Amino acid sequence: MDPDVIQRLRECVGEGNVLTRREDLIPYGFDGTAAIKEPAACVVFPETTEHVSGILRLSQERGIPVVTRGSGTGLSGGSVPVPEGIVLCLVKMDRVLEVDAANLTMLCEPGVITKAIDDAAAPLGLFYPPDPGS
């Protein structure tokens, strides 16, 4: 990947939130199937919506494909990188923002795991049922 793009990504999200070393990228080249593999060019870990906007703005300017990724447990290849693309790994955006018991809704960031959803619902006498597609 173009070093200028890497530098701009680091400026956007911070040095420690951009992976480019081959050995660091290996786990992001496949999902739960492990049958479909593609090496990632870089992995970026945004922590805010502003970070996501900056990454997507840069990718749009440069015509760089972006693949989003959570924990990589999917079984369809949906989070497998595309050649020379950015992997947008959302695991650091992991906050439950609001629980509305009256309407049975919850507002979460995209990296929230199922257990955290269930834990946030429990004090209100609610639970999150198993979701085999999550």
Mean pLDDT of 4-29: 96
Give CA–CA dist 50/91, Å, rounded.
15
Do 88 and 68 meet the contact criterion of CB atoms below 8 Å apart? Answer: yes
Phi, psi of 59 (to 5 degrees): -65, -35
**Average pLDDT of every residue of the chain:** 93
| Residue 70: closest CA among 51, 91, 101, 94 | 91
Q: Using CA atoms, how far apart are residues 119 and 96, in angstroms rounded to an integer? A: 10
pTM for the model stands at 0.89
Name the more confident of 132 and 80.
80
Residue 33's pLDDT band (boundaries 50, 70, 90)?
confident
Look at residue 66 and give its three-state secondary structure.
strand
pLDDT classification of 132: cutoffs 50, 70, 90:
low
pLDDT score recorded for residue 59: 98
Whole-angstrom distance, CA of residue 87 vs CA of residue 24: 13
Q: Which two tokens stand for residue 47?
A: 């922590």
Domains of the chain: 3-89 (3.30.43.10), 94-134 (no CATH)
pLDDT at 56 over 80: yes
